[in-house]
Structure 1
Amino acid sequence: MDRALFVYNPLSGDRTIPTRLDYLINRFQQNNILLQPYRLTKNEPDKLPHILAENDFAFFLVSGGDGTLNSVLNILLKNGLNKPIGLLPFGTCNDFARSLNLPVNLNECLNVIFSGKTVDVDAGLINEERFFFSTCAGGLFVDVSFKTHDELKKNFGPFAYYLKALSEVAHMKCFPLKIETEAETIEENVLLFLILNGTHGGGFANLIKDADISDGLMDIVLIKNCAHIDLANLFFRVLSRESLNDKNVTILKSRTCKISGSSEVLLSVDGEKGPALPINVRFINKALKVFVK
């Protein structure tokens, strides 16, 4: 019988996963897989590296949002573990899973895993020390995910982020940014920059409609300094899944980049607080295997 490690965040999304543990264990046993649960707990030493060192698992199952996924996958990659990853995308923000077109129904998610089909996907690496899998962003709105109250996220989901973001538009400030890629160098006053791995990012759908999560390339989106009304119009266009083709938006593709600016600019990495500028980013092609439809 194969063994799989199930790492879950009990506070993610609507917090129902802990009530489904028996169902999960039974489904895996029916498929001749012994599931070992591991509960992530805040403010306690993480025993996950020790468990990984002491055990051999056929694959890993992770439940939570992009932030939970980031912390778990960083541990796996830093320990050289390239076993397949199964996702239960039940956090507030699930951009990585959405970019892979994964279902949000528990039963359908399990069927994806039991089908055994995997795809190799890219990962970004910041300053040679921290991986990200969906988005690295800086500037306006980026602190929304870690400033929004947990109860708001539980009750309103991603909409809580949008409400918080709209409340900050009136206080928006641009900042000078320098972006150096393999092909060009750009210096611009911007409100926001995003480095994306897939089609979805920052809780928004299809930001880069032709993005390929397995091509080894990052998409860099720059939102230039603009009037409040122009930014609001752009915000609602993104919510409506319209194209980012706009005079106030620049989009670049690259395998590597260096981004320089004030160290006071806030950065977010997969929805969690990130490092200060400057940062060096490179994309690792096909860094991990994920179960897909």
Structure 2
Amino acid sequence: MYSRALLVYNQNAGQQETLQQLAAVIPVLAKNVKELVLYQTFKPGEGEALCRDQGGTYDLILIMGGDGSVHECVNGIATLDHPPLVGILPVGTCNDFARSMNLPVELALAADELMKGHVRELDIGMAQGRVFTNFFGVGLITDTSENINPDLKGKLGKLSYFISMLQTVRAAEPFSYSLEYDGHTSEGEAVMIYISNGRYLGTRPLPFTLDSLCDGLLDVLIIREAGLPLLKELLSRKVEGEWKPANESIEYVKAASVKLTTAKPMKADTDGEVYMEAPADVSVRPRGLRFLVGGE
């Protein structure tokens, strides 16, 4: 039983759908929370400010939203001296970080799974003074996010992500980069650099080890050329143990800190939100926050 919990949500889905979502989770949560506070946000940044200013008064913060909502709220929670437990109720397009934590993407099932109380301390990424849960990337990943048709996103959900990726792959252009990581250097040209803390991209599992969310390291992918065979290599594999890419166009390393330099400023995608730029210093805060996760 939790003494005091905050449920943060917004009405991006529309009022009727939001009411249905709340109706699916509140009966489950009410049985396990003594005082449940609902807070509806209306504008970008409101969730972050709420979690930063009031988060310390709760023992659990529940975020009902997609990867972008999680990104916003966690940036507020991570500033607290004694951050509360965090739970995610997935209602977004991809819900990649929720998937990484082995949570169901069906809302009522996710609420039930959260209330079972499986707690893990997980790593969080850091870039330019900001926090990310799933990834920081430049190149193809950023172009894909920016090219998603908002109308298709609403109608097709995760399929809109793959439509955008396939369209973007055909037009991908390489850029010059230099990557310094844990005493090593990689440089050359790439179409995408993806620095990951999570284990999913666009609803598909990435070939990283099961402990990658709490090993104190980032999984770094350097994609040197675009193409459908490369995407198949990257997004169609599940592995146990260390992954060694078969495609020579993919370089994969693990690092605690990464200094990414690009020949010119490039837009960066962080958990699906495009508002930062490279060059950038990226690092990991080992086991930085406590999350409610799905059972094994």
Q: Matched residues in 2 for 1:214 and 1:272: separation?
A: 23
1:18 CA drift (Å): 3.1
Deviations 1:99-132 (A, max 9, x none): 11111222321222222220000011112x1001
**Aligned equivalent of 1:177:** 177
**Aligned equivalent of 2:131:** 131
Report the aligned-residue RMSD: 2.5
Structure 2 matches for 1:137-152, cutoff 5 A? 137-152=137-152
1:35 CA drift (Å): 1.8
Q: Do 2:122 and 2:213's aligned partners in 1 also have CA atoms closer than 8 Å? A: yes
**Aligned equivalent of 1:102:** 103
Deviations 1:167-222 (A, max 9, x none): 12332210111000113111121010100112213543224245510011001100
Q: Compared with structure 1, are the counterparts of its residues 122 and 50 closer, same or farther at alpha carbon in structure 2 (3 Å cutoff)?
A: closer
**Aligned equivalent of 1:72:** 73
Consecutive unaligned residues in structure 1, runs of 5 or more? none
The one-letter amino acid paired with 1:182 is D
Q: Matched residues in 2 for 1:46 and 1:62: separation?
A: 13
Q: Do 1:5 and 1:37's aligned partners in 2 also have CA atoms closer than 8 Å? A: yes
Q: Matched residues in 1 for 2:267 and 2:150: separation?
A: 20
The one-letter amino acid paired with 1:167 is Q
Q: For this pair of structures, how many residues does the alignment match?
A: 287
Q: Compared with structure 1, are the counterparts of its residues 174 and 118 closer, same or farther at alpha carbon in structure 2 (3 Å cutoff)?
A: same
Q: Matched residues in 1 for 2:231 and 2:247: separation?
A: 12
Structure 2 matches for 1:239-258, cutoff 5 A? 239-241=235-237, 244-258=245-259
Correspondence for 1:233 among 223, 229, 232: 229
Consecutive unaligned residues in structure 2, runs of 5 or more? none
Structure 2 matches for 1:12-27, cutoff 5 A? 16-27=17-28
Give the structure-2-normalised TM-score: 0.87
Q: Do 2:41 and 2:47's aligned partners in 1 also have CA atoms closer than 8 Å? A: no
Q: Compared with structure 1, are the counterparts of its residues 216 and 104 closer, same or farther at alpha carbon in structure 2 (3 Å cutoff)?
A: same
Q: Compared with structure 1, are the counterparts of its residues 53 and 163 closer, same or farther at alpha carbon in structure 2 (3 Å cutoff)?
A: closer
Identity within the alignment, %? 27
Q: Matched residues in 2 for 1:98 and 1:152: separation?
A: 22
Structure 2 matches for 1:253-292, cutoff 5 A? 253-292=254-293
Q: Do 1:144 and 1:165's aligned partners in 2 also have CA atoms closer than 8 Å? A: yes
Query: What secondary structure is seen at the aligned counterpart in 1 of 2:39?
Result: strand
Structure 2 matches for 1:162-241, cutoff 5 A? 162-209=162-209, 212-225=212-225, 231-241=227-237
Q: Matched residues in 2 for 1:207 and 1:40: separation?
A: 35
Q: Which has the higher strand share?
A: 2
Q: Matched residues in 2 for 1:51 and 1:70: separation?
A: 12
1:234 CA drift (Å): 1.3
Query: What secondary structure is seen at the aligned counterpart in 2 of 1:275?
Result: strand
1:41 CA drift (Å): 1.6
Q: Compared with structure 1, are the counterparts of its residues 232 and 13 closer, same or farther at alpha carbon in structure 2 (3 Å cutoff)?
A: farther
Runs of 4+ that moved beyond 6 A: none
The one-letter amino acid paired with 2:131 is F
1:34 CA drift (Å): 2.3
Q: Do 1:6 and 1:62's aligned partners in 2 also have CA atoms closer than 8 Å? A: yes
Q: Matched residues in 1 for 2:46 and 2:111: separation?
A: 26
Q: Do 1:194 and 1:220's aligned partners in 2 also have CA atoms closer than 8 Å? A: yes
**Aligned equivalent of 1:63:** 64
